[in-house]
Amino acid sequence: MIGGGIAAVRGALGFLTRLPVGYRDGDWAAFRSSPATFPVVGYIAGALAAVPLLATETLPAPTIALGYLLAVYAVLGIHHLDGVADLGDALVVHGDRERRREVLKDTTTGVGALLAVALVVAALAMGGLALAGLSPRRAIGVAVAAEVGTKLGMAAMACFGTASDEGMGRQFTTASGPRSFVAPALIALPAAALTWPYPAAAVALGGALAGIGLPWYWATRHLGGINGDIFGAANEIGRVAGVHLGVIAWTLS
């Protein structure tokens, strides 16, 4: 049981991050059938990506924002941005469901892809700038909670979502069911208390979940379900939403 859990976490870290965890046979299968590993990765990767926020009281805010942006993509990689790009092209294309699915699989980069990626990266950078205005403890609490919330949203997609085709999305949705969501939800819940007694972390967690819901809803309505691109896009959009809403909650508390 313990060995299987370690394999699942190793598979999750290998798929969701750039951390050098190595790879062994069975890691992928263990990960895709263990949605609880999503928020575990959120804690680990979120904490590592938040390291530049330790200097919010000593370095200029733009420098902190740049450091946070670079740390996020150094730890978590840029491969999920490919999903943002494909979603951007699918959003602007004219046509029916099948046409949108074709665009998602097309390797050509269109103007919709460029705009979508630019907006997501710029929004994350601005979120980092907003985090730079907080104390280190508060900034890190919001950033980690947002990352955990994003990964919890991906677990929700795996447990409750319906795949649109036979690709990667189906490998997650067929391996888990609604009952499987209890474990990731319980694991993610402590992240809501990272800024206790203030609600900023809780709002960041919920905001990331709400951000995940936007591409998920669109894909269900316009594609007939989710796929690997939607998982990737949701990961990026959820993080941005969580960070911004967490900072807003802090300024209003």
Domain boundaries, the chain: 36-252
Map residue 148 onto helix, strand or coil.
helix
Contact between residue 225 and residue 162 where contact means Cβ atoms under 8 Å apart: yes
The residues, ordered by sequence, that sit 6+ positions from 97 with a Cβ below 8 Å of its Cβ are 222, 223, 224
Joined together, the tokens standing for residue 180 give 């499987």
* pTM to 2 decimal places: 0.91
pLDDT digits (tens, 9 = 90+) for 200-242: 999 999 999 999 988 888 888 887 888 888 888 999 999 999 9
pLDDT digits (tens, 9 = 90+) for 169-205: 677 877 788 899 999 999 999 999 999 999 999 999 9
Map residue 226 onto helix, strand or coil.
strand
Reply yes or no: is the peptide bond before residue 197 cis, omega within 30 of 0: yes
Band of the pLDDT at 101, cuts 50, 70, 90? low
Band of the pLDDT at 29, cuts 50, 70, 90? confident
